[in-house]
Amino acid sequence: MTMPTFTATKPSVRKIVQDNARGFSLVELMVVLFIIGIASTAVVMTVRSPERGVRDEVEQFAARIAALRDNAILQSRAMAVTVRPSGYGFETRNDGNWVPLSEAPFSTTDWKSGTTVQMSGARQMRVAFDSTGLPSSAANFAIKHDDVTVTLKLAATGDVRVVR
């Protein structure tokens, strides 16, 4: 008695090519979607809104004011920020006079072209920080560029906040 034998038949090359010709595999589709996602993310990240530009400028200004306040505390001396329509600068009190600071990050800085600042009705404003970090007065600076206004608020406690 003989045992039946089964032999596996190999599909022809023609059959394999015909089966693969129907479409893309799931892996291929996922790779394409991943590449499109990366490309679209790159485009979104490089496009800057007008608000982002003025907000960056105000946040940099706020960070410098906060650093000046901290320096006034650390050095136990009065320090001030002076804001003008053209820009802002930092000063320290030395022998009864205000002396401009020139070292980074406290160097005088001009506003970017097209930027305007409004400050509580004054043309120029100096806010001094004492050795405890308290400002001489609270202040609001409305900084405008391309019809977008961002406000920097300096509280009487010395807190610095950027608001839209």
Confidence (pLDDT) at 2: 66
Q: For residue 105, say if its preceding peptide bond is cis, omega within 30 degrees of 0.
A: yes
Q: What is the pLDDT of residues 46-86, one digit of tens each?
A: 766 555 778 888 999 999 999 999 999 999 999 999 999 99
pLDDT for the residue 63: 93
Tell me, yes or no, if the pTM score tops 0.85.
no
Distance, in Å, from the CA atom of 113 to the CA atom of 124, rounded to the nearest integer, reads 18
pLDDT of residue 18: 58
pLDDT at 54: 83
What is the reported pLDDT for 83?
Answer: 93
Count of alpha carbons within 13 angstroms of residue 88, beta-carbon side: 27
DSSP element (H, E) containing 54: helix 50-75
Segments of the chain with pLDDT less than 50: none
**CB neighbour class for 81 (10 Å; exposed up to 12, middle 13-18, buried from 19):** buried
Q: What 3-state class would DSSP assign to 145?
A: strand
